[in-house]
Amino acid sequence: MNSLIFSTISRLLVGLMLLFSVFLLWRGHNEPGGGFIGGLVAAAGIIVYGLAEGPGMMRKLLRIAPQTLVLIGLLTSVVSGLLPLLQDSSFLTGMWLFIGATETEKGLGLGTPLIFDIGVYLVVVGGVSGMVIALEEEL
Amino acid sequence: MNGLLIACLLVPMMTAALSFILTSDVKSRGVISIFGSIALLMLSFILLYQVASGGPVSNQMGGWQAPMGITLIADMLSAILIVVTAIVSLCVNVYAVGDISRDRIAGGFFTFLNMLIVGVVGAFLTGDLFNMYVWFEVMLISSFALLVLGGNKVQLDGAVKYVAINLISTVLLLTAIGLLYGLTGTLNMADLFIRVPQVENQALVTVVAVLFLVAFGIKAAVFPLYFWLPASYHTLPISVTAVFAALMTKVGIYALIRTFTLIFPGEHSVVDTTLLGLGLVTMILGVFGAMTHSDIRRILAFHVIGSIGFMLLGLGLGSALAMGAAIFYMVHGILIKALLFMIAGIVGKLGGSFELSRLGGLYQERPGFSMVFLFAALALIGIPPLSGFWAKLLILEAGLHHDAAIVITFVIIASLLTFIPLMRIWLEAFWKPQPLESGPKIVESLDSDIIVVENGSVKSAVPLVVPPNLYIWTPVLGLSAVMLIIGLMPGKIIELSDTAAKTLIDPSAYIDTVLPNRSAAPGNLNEVQK
């Protein structure tokens, strides 16, 4: 699509949407959000950019081939599930690291569910944008 | 802590991802995939050994206890089927290196093949109905990808039928799962075994049972919902057809066995009679369908449907004897179908067609290979002492035990009739002299090793004539050897299938493995119910 207005706005939008997607991913453990929604928002941002600039630019924005992104995401999630096995717990058991925890404060919780969600995020981003790229390149 | 079950899922999953990420070289992708399937095979044997020596093995994901958490469980039936799946996976992976074109592999063929195996193994291992649905989806998405990979027009035509009917089946399955959850408040299969008899409205339970029967029946290609199978199987590369024919329908059968022994056992005699009737019709129809076709792949596709009928009979009769026979038949059916389709692929490569009228003279050219085909065909028909004989004998024995004269009659008729289409392949493709070159009209050639030819108004995808290489011979000969061993020494497998059948008939070991506190704290269950 050759529209100066759309292409200018899309650059603004894609940044905002990617930022928002990371925010959604981050808050997902305790509040609505998570890897799947975050990934969809990110993919929507990338698609907006792709509609304005064409599928070639979309590939450039992603840097990695979408299929590879999906599989890297899958591996990330699998690894997050395997980590607890080192501790002799079951596959996918949540392991938590509380940064700056005191007697009263819980601190900042970092855990394997976040890594799992990052994996889901990558799968969704790669999957959805990969489908759209394939469709756009066909047309 | 038991990581073995999850390893059986993760190994093919990692293989799928790594074979794509690590390299873009076609041969190395195949090699990674082959190593992955060897690892799965070893794991599956360890699992079988564990289950055989210590009873069912289960594992709760994330440490959340059943019935709340996600359960993986392997009883004898699952363990046997995973071993068989791993054998097929290894054979097909090796075969595919020699068979599948470069552009298909570049498109991720091995990734989808391994994800399909993940789905199959997942369905065998899960102890939870909703997860069963999820694994079916994993399997279906990968099979859709395999169906359209390469993307010629004939393939898309088959794929649309396949996708449409499978989506209907998925919707039915989800509806049934939703209703069952509404009735009982649980989807853990061991828990359902306890809860379903407590439901007041037993009529509704029967309705749900029938919904499951239809949903899984479509996936297993049971009469009258079988038509998608012969419509799609002949459009695919032979490696994909082999794995579809061997595994996909059997997962449907497995799901039927699991559902009707664990969730709806015994009392629903309407369903049992229906299963028996459907089994008989499916069996006969498969054989008649096979007789009417002249494309080797279609003939074999109808044999897949026929063998589904035999397995349903075992489930319909419902005794431990019959169930054991059905399980043995599954082992035999999965392996022999994979073998026959791989052999059909070689026939296609040597003769340049799958159409019987175009083939001929293979016996003169390749007497050794002809013997391999004859062996596989006789094993399927059930000539003693090959594996098909034992499978059918066991079904007959179960029929005699139930005084089910009609079952015995039909099994004998169907077995005899199976002879005709296979001997037609033998006579036409192998014994008849090579027909004069009529020269198929090539209409398109989208792929490097598949061309589309037009014969009258029928378009079909056929391979170019290329001599089969070592990658293709090895799995065929290896699998033939396995079939020969099963035929000559069926004792061990019959023993294992009988044990599996006993666990199905009396699932207390299964239930105790999933819900270890059931008998210790009966009050607990009631509390959860409130």
Inter-residue contact A89 to B1 (CB < 8 Å): yes
Q: Tell me, what's the pLDDT at A97?
A: 76
Helix/strand/coil for A38: helix
Closest residue on chain B to A123 (Cα):
B17
Closest residue on chain B to A112 (Cα):
B62
Query: Which of chain A's residues have a Cβ under 8 Å away from the Cβ of B3?
Result: 85, 91
Across chain A, which distance is largest between two alpha carbons, in Å? Answer: 61
Query: A93 and B1 in contact by Cβ < 8 A?
Result: no
Query: A91 and B21 in contact by Cβ < 8 A?
Result: no
Amino acid at B100: I
Lowest mean pLDDT among B202-216, B415-429, B445-459: B445-459
Per-residue b or e along B54-65, where b marks 16 or more CB atoms closer than 10 Å to that residue's CB: eebbbbbbbeee
pLDDT band of residue A95 (cuts 50, 70, 90) is confident
Query: A89 and B1 in contact by Cβ < 8 A?
Result: yes
Query: B20 and A74 in contact by Cβ < 8 A?
Result: no
Please list the alpha-helical segments (H only) found in B24-152: 26-54, 76-99, 102-106, 109-125, 129-148
Alpha-carbon separation of residue B372 from B467, B473, B480 (angstroms): 17, 11, 7
How far is it, in rounded angstroms, from Cα B279 to Cα B297? Answer: 23
Distance from CA of B11 to the nearest CA of A (A): 10
From the list A67, A82, A90, the residue facing B60 with the nearest CB is: A90
**pLDDT exceeding 90 applies to what percent of chain B?**
42
Per-residue b or e along A54-85, where b marks 16 or more CB atoms closer than 10 Å to that residue's CB: ebeebbeebeebbbbbbbbbbbbbbebbbbbb
Inter-residue contact B446 to B452 (CB < 8 Å): yes
DSSP, res B262: I
Q: Tell me, what's the pLDDT at B361?
A: 82
Closest residue on chain A to B4 (Cα):
A91
Sequence spans of domains, chain B: 4-509
Closest residue on chain A to B6 (Cα):
A91
For B127-156, what is the mean pLDDT?
A: 86
- Please measure the distance between the N-terminal and C-terminal CA atoms of chain B and give it in whole angstroms: 31
Distance from CA of B7 to the nearest CA of A (A): 10
Query: B13 and A68 in contact by Cβ < 8 A?
Result: no
Query: B108 and A67 in contact by Cβ < 8 A?
Result: yes
ipTM of the complex: 0.86
For A114-135, what is the mean pLDDT?
A: 92
Instruction: State which H helix or E strand residue B293 sits in.
Output: none
How far is it, in rounded angstroms, from Cα B492 to Cα A35? Answer: 48
Q: Tell me, what's the pLDDT at B485?
A: 93
Q: DSSP for B263-286?
A: IS-SS-HHHHHHHHHHHHHHHHHH
Between A114 and B84, name the one with better pLDDT. Answer: B84
Torsion angle of alpha carbons B458, B464, B469, B471, nearest 10°? -50
| Residue B529: pLDDT over 60 | no
Q: What is the mean pLDDT of chain A?
A: 87
Of the ranges A107-116, B131-140, B260-269, B287-296, the best mean pLDDT one: B131-140
Q: Tell me, what's the pLDDT at B147?
A: 86
Task: For chain A, list residues whose CB is within 8 angstroms of any CB belonging to chain B.
Answer: 67-68, 71-72, 74-75, 78, 81-82, 85, 88-94
Query: A91 and B14 in contact by Cβ < 8 A?
Result: no
| Residue B447: pLDDT over 60 | no
Lowest mean pLDDT among B13-27, B299-313, B506-520: B506-520
How far is it, in rounded angstroms, from Cα B115 to Cα A67? Answer: 14
From the list B6, B17, B62, the residue facing A75 with the nearest CB is: B17
Inter-residue contact B146 to B236 (CB < 8 Å): yes
Inter-residue contact B193 to B261 (CB < 8 Å): no
From the list A71, A74, A90, the residue facing B63 with the nearest CB is: A90
Closest residue on chain A to B17 (Cα):
A71
pLDDT tens-digit profile of A33-55?
Answer: 888 999 999 999 999 998 888 88
CB pairs under 8 A between A and B: 45
Query: Which of chain B's residues have a Cβ under 8 Å away from the Cβ of A94?
Result: 62
Taking CB atoms within 8 Å and a gap of at least 24, the contacts of B136-141 are B136/B170, B136/B173, B136/B219, B136/B251, B136/B255, B137/B170, B139/B248, B139/B251, B140/B166, B140/B170, B141/B115
Distance from CA of B103 to the nearest CA of A (A): 15
Alpha-carbon separation of residue B89 from A64, B227, B251, B278, B487 (angstroms): 30, 26, 14, 30, 21
Inter-residue contact B317 to B258 (CB < 8 Å): no
pLDDT tens-digit profile of B318-341?
Answer: 888 999 999 999 999 999 999 999
Amino acid at B270: V
| Residue B176: pLDDT over 70 | yes
| Residue A135: pLDDT over 70 | yes
Query: A90 and B1 in contact by Cβ < 8 A?
Result: yes
Task: For chain B, list residues whose CB is within 8 angstroms of any CB belonging to chain A.
Answer: 1, 3, 6, 10, 13-14, 16-18, 20-21, 59-63, 108, 111
| Residue B154: pLDDT over 80 | no
For B466-487, what is the mean pLDDT?
A: 88
Q: Tell me, what's the pLDDT at B119?
A: 95
* Angular region, B273: left φ>0, alpha ψ -120 to 50, beta rest: alpha
From the list B3, B18, B21, the residue facing A91 with the nearest CB is: B3
Neighbours of B466 (CB within 10 A): 14
Lowest mean pLDDT among A64-73, B43-52, B343-352: B343-352
For B3-14, what is the mean pLDDT?
A: 91
